[in-house]
Amino acid sequence: MSSASTQPEVSIAKGFLVRLLIVAPVAVAVSWAIAGDRGLWSSLYGLALVAVNFAIMMLFFREGAKFGMTGLMAAAFISLLVGLGVLTAAIIPVARASWMDLVVFGLVVILGHLAAVVIEARRVSGRLGDDGLAPWRLVR
């Protein structure tokens, strides 16, 4: 079996983290512009939790891939449940903190996940076919 650094599922999960770093400065700046310091701290906390969620996903994917496609699918489902549990456990103690803006936090967590997934899916989908077709281009 290939080393952990060359496994495709680990590469994809690391790609999520890289894409999150691309999206993070924009999210923090917009959050700060809209909600001030509360938005800034809430977005930083949200982005940190998104990064933790992707790291959890990477660990589960790496272990699940050892058991084939079924293991990988089970790992994806379990990592989703564990990630949601981590997000819930991380927000409950700080939900009423003076620096927390729950709307900004929620938007950053949701949009951070979606943006990283969409960007990574576009990158991966361009490599799936051997025919050189890019699925996001219109066929004439």
pLDDT in tens, 36-57: 999 999 999 999 999 898 888 8
Strand, helix or coil for residue 48: helix
In total, how many domains does the chain have? 1
Phi, psi (deg, nearest 5) at residue 41 = -70, -35
Which amino acid, 88? T
Residue 139, in any domain of the structure = no
Q: What share of the chain is helix, strand, coil (3-state, %, to 5)?
A: 80, 0, 20
pLDDT at 3: 56
- Residue spans of the chain under pLDDT 70: 1-7, 9-10, 13, 120, 123-140
Within-domain flag for 40: yes
Q: What is the pTM of this model?
A: 0.77
Determine the pLDDT at residue 55: 86
pLDDT for 106 equals: 94
* Residue 2 forms part of a structural domain: no
Residue 140 lies in a domain: no
Give the range of the structural domain holding residue 33, as residue numbers without chain letter. Answer: 8-124
> Is residue 50 a part of any domain in this protein?
yes
Domain presence at residue 137: no
pLDDT at 4: 53
